[in-house]
Amino acid sequence: MVKTHIGVKWPNIELKPLTGTIAYEVMTKRSIPGPGNYDPPMIGGPHGGKFNNSKSMRLIDQLVWEARRLPGPGQYDGTYEPIDVPIAGYTQIHERSPVRRRRAGLGMSPSPADRLPLSPSCLTPKSPMTPKSALSRRSGLPPISPHLEGPRSRSVDPYDA
């Protein structure tokens, strides 16, 4: 018996781990079992799962087997289809609201076709168009091809006057 500081006596017994666990293997053999040689006791009953390696392989062995036999990158025969990715230059990015773009001399939408400055007739002070009427009529803007223009954003810019 071992006496503690409070005066309670504990039996002098070493706690042993469950048989079949890694702690038991380490305690009895003083080494961790190699990879693939250990199955937890809860799988397949109290003594671990049973595998017949002549009939079935473990999953990791099968993956290693396939990885050694399948061709690596750059060794395929080229029978693949190209991925249809939109070009980054043609995707619409919300940069400014249409009013602020018009004040900066840009088109109505931030597509590459509208980055050209507007014609001088629209920018003269004698022009009867206000920015609000310019938004509704779109006169004087360069033509926009339909394949460059995506869905319009209905978000409101809080910094617009």
pLDDT tens profile 94-110: 556 667 767 776 655 55
* pLDDT one-digit tens code per residue, 97-145: 667 767 776 655 555 554 555 555 545 454 455 555 455 455 555 555 5
Q: Domain residues of the chain, as ranges?
A: 1-50
Q: Say if residues 12 and 3 touch (Cβ distance below 8 Å).
A: no
- Residue 148: Cβ-neighbour burial (10 angstroms; 0-12, 13-18, 19+): middle
Q: Say if residues 90 and 112 touch (Cβ distance below 8 Å).
A: yes
How many Å apart are CA 59 and CA 65, to the nearest integer?
Answer: 10
* pLDDT one-digit tens code per residue, 2-19: 555 666 666 666 667 777
Q: Is the pTM of this model over 0.85?
A: no
